[in-house]
Amino acid sequence: MSAPAPVVFRNALLVTQDAERRVVRGDLAVTDGRIAHVGPGAAAVGEEIDASDFAIVPGFVNAHAHVAMSLLRGIADDRDLGGFLERLFAVDARRTERDVESGAAAGIAEMLLSGTTSFLDLYYAEDAVARAVERLGARGFLGWAVLDPEMTTQKGVPVDNARAFIDRWRGHARVTPLVGPQGVYVCGEETWLKARDVARAAGTLLHYHLSETRREVHEHEAKTGMRPPIWLERIGFLGADQVAAHGVWLTRREIELLAERRVAVAHCPSSNLKLATGGVAPVVELRRAGARVALGTDSTASNNSLSMLREMHVAGLLQKHHRWDAAALRAQELLDLATIEGASAIGRGQDLGSLEVGKLADLSLVRLDHPTMLPARPEAVVSHLAYAASEEAIDSVYVGGEAVVRHRALVREPWAPIRAEAETAAAALWSPA
């Protein structure tokens, strides 16, 4: 794909997310898909856009999703995790690669329209998700789900499927393939270590669920004598280039261990709250220990939203309420989790997560005249993004300098056929087997 045409956004309110977390009024220039200027006085390079009524914000990074499950929004509501999984497993057994792509396209559209430009996914049939990424122009970090062979409905050996998926999509501009061991409840020691070896050989991330529920932790401890993070350390699995989703039931020693091993944690508050998994992820303690923490939505079956704006809001309120501390996870920290720290967690902090010269031009234009952005003051804009902004305030979205949403409309494909295809696929999944 050829590089998008150069563009200069004039006189915008730039929420840079740089090291100083500057919010400045100025210009942002994009050349060859990367940011070439941030601040006043950018030279004319091509298309000129008057952005004086907009804030420009780095694209959000959703650090844990199962985006193809968009077809299943509402299918297993008001159940605990056990009942939720029972319903989902029954539906998953009937899914086809075609409906996985339909669900992924709908989910990616939802994310782009709410300002998310990069997402970390964990599912099977990730080739279908990769095709949806190509169609709509997001940036997908796609983990092929790996389980013990006797625990899956996948054809073939899951870890071999992951290796083949990585080989097929290696070097793609918008798709980064990786390995996704599901969790300790369906992966034995051999599977974990084979997944690690595939990731090391290919130089990819590992993404997995960890200590999401008290039951998961207690059952694993009863079986092995160790809690999941301690056991993963004992078998030689834990290391950098890993993102563990949830991390709710962690001890102080486990928090320190994850920080020491440079394992990032994707905090998914809405999903955990809705499934009533109990406990509150120790986000403050993880960050204090030096662990990288990002923010994820989980799936629309358990959340039921893919909005990072909403996730920031819930994450902040949950930590404040739980800790009896209104300053716990301040607005700036919440925006950090959704941008620069999310980029760091997925190993792309050098390219993504902030508006800085040389970085990829993944960004959103947010309407300052939207009711949820009032008053549109520089000193309030971070607070508005963390606590108030509606998805409808996201006007346009760029990935690598390419407009993928323009004035609330998808650019590469219109929403109507994506929706029609998704509704048809959902009808088959919602019908009794």
Q: Within 61-208, where are the H helices?
A: 81-92, 97-113, 126-136, 158-169, 189-202
- The SS3 of residue 340 is helix
Distance in angstroms (rounded) separating the CA atoms of residues 426 and 433: 13
Tell me the average pLDDT across 29-41.
97
With 90 as the cut, is the pLDDT of residue 261 above it? yes
Residues above pLDDT 90, as percent of the chain: 92
Burial class (CB in 10 A: 0-12, 13-18, 19+), 241: middle
- Whether 17 has a pLDDT exceeding 80, the answer reads yes
Give the pLDDT of residue 84: 85
Q: How many domains does the chain have?
A: 2
Q: Do residues 100 and 421 lie in contact, with contact meaning Cβ atoms separated by under 8 Å?
A: no
Whether the per-residue pLDDT at 83 is higher than 90: the answer is no
Residue 2 has pLDDT above 80, yes or no: no
Same domain, 102 and 136: yes
- Alpha-carbon gap, residue 139 to 144, rounded angstroms: 16
Task: Confirm if 113 and 137 have CB atoms less than 8 A apart.
Answer: no
Average pLDDT estimate for 278-299: 97
Give the C-alpha separation, 277 to 279, whole Å: 7
Enclosing domain of residue 28: 7-58+359-410
Q: What pTM does this model have? A: 0.97
| Six-digit token string for 330 | 């301040």
Residue 405 has phi, psi (to 5 degrees) of: -135, 130
User: Which of 225, 145, 223, 222 lies closest to 191, judged by CA?
Assistant: 145
pLDDT at residue 1 greater than cutoff 70: no
Given a cut of 90, whether residue 301 has pLDDT beyond it is yes
User: Does 90 share its domain with 26?
Assistant: no
Is 429 domain-assigned? no
Residue 299 has a pLDDT of: 96
Q: How many Å separate Cα 238 from the centre of its chain?
A: 21
Backbone angles phi, psi at 113, to 5 degrees: -70, -15
Q: Please check whether residue 233 lies inside any domain of the structure.
A: yes
Antiparallel, parallel or unpaired: β 242-246 and 264-267: parallel
pLDDT number for residue 433: 63
Per-residue model confidence (pLDDT) at position 431 = 86
Is-contact 177 144, C-beta < 8 A? yes
What CATH number corresponds to the domain at position 134? Answer: 3.20.20.140
Residue 246: the pLDDT is: 98
- The three-class DSSP label of residue 384 is helix
For residue 165, tell me if it sits in a domain.
yes
The pLDDT tens digits of the residues spanning 320-359 come to 999 999 999 999 999 999 999 999 999 999 999 999 999 9
CB 51 within 8 A of CB 398: no
Asked whether residue 369 is assigned to any structural domain, the reply reads yes
Helix (H, G, I), strand (E, B) or coil at 56: strand
The domain boundary, picked from 298, 322, 345, lies at: 345
Q: Quick one: 264 and 406 in the same domain?
A: no
